[in-house]
Amino acid sequence: MKIKFLSLEIALLLSIAGAFAQNGATESITWNYNSGLLTIGGIGAMPDFDVEQYGETTWATSAPWGKYYDSITAVVIKQGVTGIGTFAFFGCMVLDSVDIAGSVTKIGINAFTRCYSLKSVVLPHGVTTIDNSAFNSCGLISITLPNSITSIGLRVFGTTHLSSITNLNPIPLNIDPLVFYDVNISTCTLQVPIGSVSAYRHAEVWKEFHIVGIEVGIEELPAKAGGGELLVYPNPATGTCSITMPDEFLYERSLTLSVYDAAGRLVQQMVLDNEAETPQLRLGLEAKGVYLVVLSNGRKEYRGKVVFN
């Protein structure tokens, strides 16, 4: 009898441990749940999900981790995952932390709807699309949007408590007013790159926010499509350096050379002499630090970094 009792006790302990550590795979995506933390890995986009009824009145995601809808407190989406599926975390009511890898480019319909405890999200550079109602009716107070965003769907932030948005795109995206359905945007602070304040104050929908300019780091400055690497030498430099002119720019007119400091401030700009194959860049010897150098013809640009010491 004693042996049977111990066996039952061990079985119960294993059952309890299993309830707090579960994992599996769905298509090319893997998942692991352990004591509130859900980790999503793999290569490619998550599949799309639906909603499923749990109990008499509760609906949550039909994803395999949906059974933990009332205990998932943190989600980590690892590098390699490229898309967050439809309804992926719908109804995860105690979820309060989301870490999204830079490989993610799309957030699906209703992905975080009814995540009532989710207060703040920073979307990584690389996300281009946020589908309809992705954050609708969640607890969102603040959101950071990268400059890679090209599409924001209807009611993405609808019925939230947004009071602060950081939008790193220097050019206001054309959006529908329903993006912020049932949000009091007149009392919401919109932080944008300091050089873009005027553009946002004249852009539909965005102009209704309380707009504040912020300095943007050089890693967050957007690059034009088809950009390439610019050779700057010597590097490090002491006040003067040379730039190798890309072959396709040798006969271009109206080339512009711009230099930005580590905070994203434009510190120097010049129109280049097209006959110079190795134009020189000169900064004061007191201006030490890392600088981003951008050579552009208005359609394409080349970028490089230089350290002045």
Query: Domains in the chain, start-ordered, CATH in brackets?
Result: 18-216 (3.80.10.10), 220-308 (2.60.40.10)
CA distance 13 to 21: 13
Minimal CA–CA distance to 117: which of 135, 84, 94? 94
Our measurement of the distance from residue 241's CA atom to the centroid of its chain's CA atoms, rounded to an integer in Å, reads 34
Structure tokens at 180: 């912020």
CA distance 121 to 112: 11
First to last CA, the chain: 79
DSSP characters for 100-112? E-TT--EE-TTTT
pLDDT in tens, the chain (309 residues): 333 333 444 344 434 444 456 999 888 999 999 999 999 999 999 999 999 999 888 999 999 999 999 999 999 999 899 999 999 999 999 999 999 988 899 999 999 999 999 999 999 888 999 999 999 999 999 999 988 899 999 999 999 999 999 998 888 999 999 999 999 999 999 999 888 899 999 999 999 999 999 888 776 777 776 678 888 888 888 888 888 888 888 877 778 888 887 777 778 888 876 666 778 888 775 678 888 898 887 778 888 888 888
What is this structure's pTM? 0.71
Structure tokens at 151: 């599409």
Angle at 129 between CA 123 and CA 130, to 5 degrees: 70
User: Is the dihedral angle over the CA atoms 163, 168, 170, 171 positive or is it negative?
Assistant: negative
